[in-house]
A and B are shown apart, each in its own frame.
Chain A
Amino acid sequence: MIFDLAFIWAGLIAFAVLAYVILDGFDLGVGILFPFLRSEAEKDLAMNTVAPVWDGNETWLVLGGGGLFAVFPLAYAVVMPALYVPIIVMLLALVFRGVAFEFRWRTKRGKFLWDFSFTFGSVMAAFAQGIALGALVQGILVEGRAYAGGNWDWLTPFSILTGVALVAAYALMGATWLVMKTKGPVRDVARRMAVWTGATTIVLVGLVSLITPFLNPLYLDRWFGFPNVLFTVLVPAAILGAVLIFIKGLRDNRDAWPFLATVALFVLSFIGLGISFYPYMVPPSLTIWDVAAPDESLWFLLAGALVLVPMILAYTAYAYWVFRGKVDPAGGYH
């Protein structure tokens, strides 16, 4: 049976991870681009575009981890020890950048320290997440109900590549976000950065996409086997469309377009990942049914999720609506 509880939950967890990647993607991206902003005023403005929403954005990461624990406990129990080092690095990096949001307003002398902490944490968190993704794609060694590899199995040229690619992609997200949310010099810097990070992202993500099918025969068949290829070819076609919108938006000064095109790029890459993975949650050995908790657990949380997730989306949308439009430099939240 395909449309069972485990399948629904795989979809919901995938949605949470995608929501996280997009939402925290742009605020991590703002952190990555921070050193390219020159004056204090520019940095203040850039940070104020994300200050009211970063905390909600990061909650999706807790949902991704907590949700995995709840409904796919075996996947959680296998993946976390396998990716021990990148996960711990990511957590510590998130501490560095998370505290900076408040700390940098609390001091004048030490402000540069927290600006550095913000960028350092953002880059490291993005890099560690990219490495974790790459390590998951290349496969995790499982014996019985536990991870059976060593501390450093995750470290390969491929995982380093995915790490760098995600830093570039988040930076692109941050750049297009700033184009959408600011005016004046910050927007000008962001616009230039959008071009550079956009080109870098396309190259790196393209490279990752080309390598991925050859890591696992399953992926290869999924993408190039017949008749799959008739559908899978739609993904790169749609990515091409997103790139065109991105370029046109930047050229015609339609400031929301590049951001939306970047979101589309993330969604499509994520779908591509799903095409490779399904039905595995921990390739190459554990499917979503292998790792799912008993139906009683899945039901219990699903009942709540069906009510609460729409509410969360509604008030999250409301919070974004409250802070809509270009941020007024004089309106300083702090």
Chain B
Amino acid sequence: MFGFDAIELARIQFAFTVSFHIIFPAFSIGLASYLAVLNGLHLWTGKDIYLRLFNYWKTIFAVAFGMGVVSGIVMSYQFGTNWSVFSDKAGPVIGPLMGYEVLSAFFLEAGFLGVMLFGREKVGAKGHFFATLMVAIGTLGSAFWILSVNSWMQTPQGHGINEVGQFVPLDWWAIVFNPSFPYRLVHMVLAAYLTTALVVGAVGGLHLLRDRMDQGARVMFSMAMGMLIVVAPLQIVAGDFHGLNTLEYQPAKIAAMEGHFESHPEGGAPLILFGIPNAETETFDYAVQIPYLSSLILTHDLTSPLPGLKDFPVDERPPVGIVFWSFRIMVALGFAMLGLGIWALVARLRGTMYDRKWLHRAAMAMGPTGFVAVLAGWITTEVGRQPWTVYGLLSTNDSVAPVEAAAVASSLVAFIVVYFLLFGAGTYYILRLMNKRLADRIPLKSIGPIRTAGVTPAPAVDDKFIPAE
């Protein structure tokens, strides 16, 4: 159908369903932790504002989480429906890891979700905090296991191969903690936290633009920007380490990310900023590059060898263009996040964080960028590991299910229609919830210039007269 064969359709279908799915966990992992923090802060300080913030974000969480659950069930069956040969071969190794994900994480978050959403009056404040904490731990646990699975497929170890061609486990510790897993786990969890911080910051920014006295917006914005300035630099460092790890285990992926066709056996590889990779001529057209910088970033010195795509057989190279560009989108957004964090920090130190309208606008504009960066990052790593499902051992072409192209094509169309329709509606409802303001105005006496008791001039009661800076 449309000139695609069954395997291309199956790949498009997996890419589509998993891309839609990852949007929800990327948000709900961070948001669950944020809810646990808000709930804990309320329990600890007794301040009403935290509970109101909790309830505000809880409703949004419920909508997003529901979409994450149903799109996740699809994933757990998609391995079998479309990639049955892969399932048969890799099942004995990665199946039990996913089994642990279900048993230790999915049940935990689902089991306590009801109590968290609806049970506060029934279980009391402490029980409610506990339930929220369990939901947060559940979301993190699921990240742990699924990233272990993905990492094993990228950097497999600890396995053997039996007489019917299945991967069989030899050393579970080596399988779970395979070489790329720690880097990928840290990178993804930080990404989820960043994504959530950016969304919370955008909502805070929106309501500050409407009313900079909005107490709920202030708390949200302050917490989000604080999170950003801590996590964004950590994420850049984590990403750098992840890159070094990839260079060691998946050099072809790095070559594609960097757009290097030629190898640099003596180091000194330039960093190509922009250009058009040309896979046919194996050259980089219109390249804008900075000498030596790629070597410096990747090997942390100027003389270590750096492989290029030409070092690999043509049929074992990943598609260059997609990987090159998606990687650049991710990195550029990462630095933009850092920039926003620094801007907000400077404003905070000067005491003007709630007054700078352009800062609030920037935070709003950056709101969706966490999702874009997460998707770009996943596209980089998943396209970059082609043509393999289990890196170097099982090719994508040998993994696919014996299902006819017509069936895959119709299910693909059905997924596209249903996902855009239903998750589109869900996104609309989430945006509408975010558009609602949270709290009443902050009482005037607790902010603004300190006044002498009893001599409050009449105009100061109207916040329009409070100096902006």
- Whether A156 is near chain B, meaning CB under 8 Å from some CB there, is no
Of A56, A76, A106, A308, the contact of B114 (CB 8 Å cutoff):
A56
A81 lies within 8 A of B84 (CB) = yes
Per-residue interface assignment for chain B, residues 156 to 172, with 1 indicating a CB less than 8 Å from any chain A CB and 0 otherwise: 00000010101011101
B62 lies within 8 A of A102 (CB) = yes
What are 6 A-B residue pairs whose CB atoms fall within 8 Å in the complex?
A: A51-B114, A66-B98, A81-B80, A96-B422, A146-B402, A297-B91
- Whether A73 is near chain B, meaning CB under 8 Å from some CB there, is yes
- Whether B106 is near chain A, meaning CB under 8 Å from some CB there, is yes
Binds A, one of B276-284, B375-383, B411-419: B411-419
- List, in ascending order, chain A residues with CB within 8 A of B403's CB: 81, 84, 151
- Whether A184 is near chain B, meaning CB under 8 Å from some CB there, is no
B169 lies within 8 A of A84 (CB) = no
B66 lies within 8 A of A102 (CB) = yes
Q: Among B66, B89, B98, B103, which residue has the most Cβ atoms of chain A within 10 A?
A: B103
Q: In the complex, what distance in Å separates the CA atom of A84 from the CA atom of B411?
A: 9
Per-residue interface assignment for chain B, residues 105 to 125, with 1 indicating a CB less than 8 Å from any chain A CB and 0 otherwise: 011101111110111001100
B170 lies within 8 A of A323 (CB) = no
- Chain A contact-residue range equals 35 or more
B84 lies within 8 A of A300 (CB) = no
Residues of B at the A interface (CB closer than 8 Å) are: 62-63, 65-67, 69-74, 76-77, 79-81, 84-85, 87-93, 95-96, 98-104, 106-108, 110-115, 117-119, 122-123, 134, 162, 164, 166, 168-170, 172, 401-404, 406-407, 411, 414-415, 418-419, 422-423, 425-426, 429, 432-433
Q: In the complex, what distance in Å separates the CA atom of A304 from the CA atom of B429?
A: 39
Of A55, A73, A296, the contact of B91 (CB 8 Å cutoff):
A73
- List, in ascending order, chain B residues with CB within 8 A of A315's CB: 107-108, 111-112, 134
A62 lies within 8 A of B407 (CB) = no
Of B108, B164, B172, B406, the contact of A151 (CB 8 Å cutoff):
B406
B102 lies within 8 A of A73 (CB) = no
Given A65-B80, A80-B80: A56 in contact with B107 (beta carbons within 8 A) = yes
A55 lies within 8 A of B84 (CB) = no
Q: In the complex, what distance in Å separates the CA atom of A228 from the CA atom of B294?
A: 74
Binds B, one of A38-46, A85-93, A166-174: A85-93
- Chain B's nearest CB lies how many Å from the CB of A100? 9
A80 lies within 8 A of B84 (CB) = yes
Per-residue interface assignment for chain A, residues 56 to 89, with 1 indicating a CB less than 8 Å from any chain B CB and 0 otherwise: 1011011101111111011011111100110110
- List, in ascending order, chain B residues with CB within 8 A of A71's CB: 95-96, 99
B118 lies within 8 A of A51 (CB) = yes
For window 94-117 of A, CB contacts with B under 8 Å fall at: 94-96, 98-99, 101-103, 106-107, 110, 117
Across the A-B interface, the 5 shortest Cβ-Cβ residue pairs = A73-B91, A80-B80, A52-B114, A70-B95, A98-B70
- Chain B's nearest CB lies how many Å from the CB of A162? 19
